[in-house]
């Protein structure tokens, strides 16, 4: 609001109410913050699209599937064929289309089967209710909705149903309720149920075809790569923790700048359980692709992941020993530094070899030797721990005690022995967790070897035989 205007020369001066300038500044800052957030959002989205182009392609695939299904509305002959129920096909594409082929197949099959079963039951209940007379019809319909909805909702708590048919159970409840209740007022119930099932089948068909034919993303392939990455992250973290713990020793090289990040790589393994279970469930629905055949042992990947997480828990405990306030003196660390570093190196080599086995899908001829070297390193660490001095170093440095105080020497010796044991405890805890890590790595080795047997991983001899056969064919042609 303008309070006053006064002429000064050839110009005008306008006096505004107090606080108006502050309001304008606040609005300007708000606009700047909004534009800054928008720029950050666009920048982050662009970076994600560049780093993971498959996610950008997924968006294009969803748009393509919706555009194709929308033709049932735009093209008059197609619209006359399916009618206004074409909207169910469009809704199906929006709900069913997922990032991976396995997830799309899981939802598609669940939706079609649940809709078909619920539609059949709904029509059957409607026929029974209509034959019972107008008085009992609403009672029968309402009772059936209550019973089937309650039973289906309860079945979702069963692990097998929850893992494979959870989405289908939800669709069953929705479809059965709609058809049963609609049948009380709609005359052509059978026609309505048939149209709904057929339109949903059309939508799911386009989803599956688009997902599989255009740059498919396989859940099984992602689980395979995730397992490899987890094993490699464990190896990186284990080496990083040992380098960090012994970094003050003069003979140890200067720590790399990224060693802190390497130490935390195991965190991704700790948080991978839910993702692995989801990918394994979706992988079961996928057809044969690449090196993954029908009925591939995807459940074994979950056992490998469980073993890897148990290793990650041990590495987390080792990380806790490193960050603990109570640390062993440097002269004691030197006593077992070499053994710890050697054991860490052999353990990491075993984990990397397991990752290579899964990546190449070939049995490793070196894995048994690597495990044996790791076991020898464990024994060397135990021997080094047993040779650690306790009260000897303290007693050797004690000053002479007067003869008239014979008990003081014994008391001082006891205090020194306790102090030396306390100094050794951090090293003992670290060595114990490192040894436990080795034990759990051996469990991981067994799980990977079982996968190699179940999935029939190839051996180097198979490769040599194949090369020999190819050479013989070439010689025969010559």
Q: pLDDT tens across 12-39, in order?
A: 555 555 555 555 556 677 777 787 888 8
Contact 303, 460 (CB under 8 A): no
How far is residue 282's CA from residue 272's CA, in Å, rounded to a whole number?
Answer: 16
**What's the Cα-to-Cα distance from 56 to each of 37, 45, 61, 107, rounded to whole Å?**
21, 10, 9, 21
Cα separation, 54 vs 51, whole angstroms: 9
Position 43 scores a pLDDT of 80
pLDDT score of 441: 95
Is residue 1 predicted with pLDDT exceeding 80? no
Rounded average pLDDT over 115-137? 84
Give the domain ranges of the chain.
53-213, 219-396+413-471
Evaluate whether 122 touches 176 at the Cβ level (below 8 Å): yes
pLDDT in tens, 252-272: 444 455 677 778 888 989 988
Integer Cα distance of 349 and 286 in angstroms: 33
- How far, in whole angstroms, is CA 222 from its chain's centroid? 10
User: What pLDDT does 251 receive?
Assistant: 45
Total-model pTM: 0.79
Q: What is the pLDDT of residues 32-88, one digit of tens each?
A: 778 788 888 888 877 777 777 888 898 999 999 999 888 877 776 766 666 666 788
- What integer is the mean pLDDT of 443-469? 79
**CATH number of the domain at 219-396+413-471, out of 1.20.58, 1.10.3660, 1.10.3210, 2.40.50?**
1.20.58
Which pLDDT belongs to residue 25? 57
Q: What are phi and psi of 7, to 5 degrees?
A: -85, 130
The pLDDT, as a whole number, for residue 393 is 45
Q: What is the pLDDT of residues 314-335, one digit of tens each?
A: 999 998 888 877 777 777 778 8
Beta-carbon neighbour count of residue 70 at 10 Å?
Answer: 14
CA-only gyration radius of the chain, Å: 35
> Residue 350 pLDDT more than 50?
yes
Mean pLDDT score, 172-198: 76
């Amino acid at each position: 609001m303008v309070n006053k205007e006064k002429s000064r020369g050839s110009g005008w001066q306008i006096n505004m109410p107090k606080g108006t300038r502050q309001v304008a500044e606040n609005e300007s800052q708000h606009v700047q913050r909004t534009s800054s957030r928008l720029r950050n959002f666009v920048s982050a989205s662009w970076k994600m699209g560049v780093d993971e182009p498959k996610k950008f392609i997924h968006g294009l695939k969803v748009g393509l599937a919706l555009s194709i299904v929308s033709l049932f509305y735009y093209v008059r002959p197609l619209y006359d064929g399916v009618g206004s129920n074409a909207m169910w096909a469009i809704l199906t594409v929006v709900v069913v289309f997922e990032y991976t082929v396995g997830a799309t197949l899981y939802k598609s099959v669940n939706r079609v089967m649940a809709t078909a079963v619920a539609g059949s039951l709904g029509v059957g209940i409607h026929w029974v209710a209509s034959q019972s007379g107008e008085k009992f019809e609403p009672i029968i319909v309402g009772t059936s909705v209550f019973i089937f909805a309650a039973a289906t909702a309860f079945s979702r708590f069963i692990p097998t149903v929850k893992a494979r048919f959870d989405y289908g159970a939800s669709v069953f409840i929705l479809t059965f309720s709609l058809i049963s209740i609609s049948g009380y007022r709609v005359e052509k119930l059978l026609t309505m149920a048939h149209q709904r099932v057929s339109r949903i089948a059309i939508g799911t068909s386009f989803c599956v075809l688009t997902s599989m034919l255009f740059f498919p993303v396989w859940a099984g392939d992602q689980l395979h790569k995730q397992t490899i990455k987890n094993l490699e992250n464990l190896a990186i973290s284990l080496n990083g923790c040992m380098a960090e713990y012994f970094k003050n020793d003069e003979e140890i090289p200067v720590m790399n700048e990224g060693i802190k990040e390497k130490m935390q790589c195991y965190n991704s393994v700790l948080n991978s359980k839910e993702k692995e279970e989801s990918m394994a469930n979706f992988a079961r629905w996928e057809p044969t692709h690449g090196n993954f055949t029908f009925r591939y042992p995807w459940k074994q990947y979950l056992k490998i992941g469980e073993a890897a997480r148990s290793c990650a828990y041990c590495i987390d405990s080792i990380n806790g020993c490193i960050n603990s306030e109570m640390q062993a003196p440097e002269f004691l660390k030197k006593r077992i530094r070499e053994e710890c570093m050697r054991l860490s190196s052999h353990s990491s080599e075993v984990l990397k070899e397991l990752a290579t086995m899964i990546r190449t899908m070939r049995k490793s001829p070196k894995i048994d030797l690597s495990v044996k070297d790791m076991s020898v390193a464990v024994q060397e660490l135990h021997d080094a721990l047993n040779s650690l001095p306790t009260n000897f170093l303290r007693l050797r440095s004690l000053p002479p005690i007067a003869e008239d105080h014979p008990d003081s020497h014994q008391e001082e010796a006891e205090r020194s022995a306790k102090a030396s044991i306390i100094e050794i405890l951090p090293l003992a805890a670290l060595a114990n967790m490192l040894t436990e890590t080795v034990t759990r790595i051996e469990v991981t080795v067994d799980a990977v070897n079982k996968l190699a047997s179940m999935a029939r991983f190839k051996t180097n001899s198979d490769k040599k035989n194949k090369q020999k056969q190819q050479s013989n064919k070439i010689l025969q042609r010559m």
